[in-house]
Structure 1
Amino acid sequence: MAGVLAYRPDRSRSAFVFSMTDGSYHADKLIEFLAELRAYFAGEQVIVIWDGLMAHRSKAMTAWLATQRDWLHVERLPAYAPELNPIEQVWGNMKSTELANLCPDILDEVRIATETGLTRIGSNYDLCHSFLDHTGLSFNSATSYNPYDELTDGAAVTGRARDGPRAPCAHPETNLPTDQPIDSQAP
């Protein structure tokens, strides 16, 4: 399972996008996910903030990221700091709600419960922002370093891949139509 939380710096919008696949995530699968993310954000500048997962630091990922600088910038979280990663709150929320006390007879029941939970999270603007608030991070500090002229021209995204239940790729409905990029409504 791979997922990203996306936020407008002015807090006017948020989105949660996820993908589930057979097996574990490795660099090639994450590159595919990031390519889908590019299409989702329809040409917007994106800053990805992620942890030190081995696939995030692989040679293949590093080489691919070097070719994506026109739309994508990556910032890494400090090592051993899951409390700074809002996506960790997503996984915990889903596990404590839809997966709590689940005793499935078949693996497909876990996939359905997981998709239900992730869709619930993605459709709740306040919940998505509460995960960011929980970390204590804000976009005020992010604006001090901006590889693009104005952060409001892009979206800040936090993400993490997790090995999860086997399931086909799925994208939940969020508070944004998938054919509409996040647009800034900053004053």
Structure 2
Amino acid sequence: MQQTLEANKDWLTVFQLPSYAPDLNPQEGIWSLAKRTIGNLAAADLDQLARAVKRSLKQIQYRPHLVDGCLAATGLVMDG
């Protein structure tokens, strides 16, 4: 890899990113919101848990300001 980087350094810029950066990942904010509503759920089975997660995500989907807030919290910008 180092040889490839060195051979292409005239046009290739490499940025070192952290291996785990939830603050740069908007979906982490969405999961955080979803976990608030299902955090105390004692699901009887996997189907009940799946239904609860789907219901929570659907509630978030119909509140676009929450989704926008998760994106804004990362400092990223959506084009288009």
Paired residue for 2:29? Answer: 89
Percent identity for Structure 1 against Structure 2: 35
Paired residue for 2:9? Answer: none
Q: 1:124 aligns with which of 56, 63, 76?
A: 63
Structure with bigger strand share is 1
> After TM superposition, where is structure 1 displaced by more than 4 Å over at least 4 residues in a row?
none
The one-letter amino acid of 1:108's match is D
| Root-mean-square deviation over aligned CA pairs | 1.4
Structure with bigger helix share is 2
Paired residue for 1:147? Answer: none
Q: 2:51 aligns with which of 112, 133, 137?
A: 112
Q: Taking structure 2 as the reference length, what is the TM-score of the superposition? A: 0.69
Paired residue for 1:143? Answer: none
Alpha-carbon separation, structure 1, partners of 2:43 and 2:20: 32
Matched position secondary structure for 2:42: coil
Count of aligned pairs between the two proteins: 63
Deviation at 1:137, TM superposition (A): 2.0
Alpha-carbon separation, structure 1, partners of 2:22 and 2:61: 20
How does 1:69-80 map onto structure 2 within 5 Å?
Answer: 78=17, 79-80=19-20
Q: Which protein shows a greater Rg?
A: 2
Q: Taking structure 1 as the reference length, what is the TM-score of the superposition? A: 0.32
Alpha-carbon separation, structure 1, partners of 2:68 and 2:43: 31
CA deviations over 1:20-70 (Å, ceiling 9, x no partner): xxxxxxxxxxxxxxxxxxxxxxxxxxxxxxxxxxxxxxxxxxxxxxxxxxx
What residue ranges of structure 2 are gaps of 5+ in the alignment?
1-16
Deviation at 1:138, TM superposition (A): 2.5
Alpha-carbon separation, structure 1, partners of 2:29 and 2:51: 20
What residue ranges of structure 1 are gaps of 5+ in the alignment?
1-77, 140-150, 153-187
Alpha-carbon separation, structure 1, partners of 2:60 and 2:71: 13
Matched position secondary structure for 1:138: coil
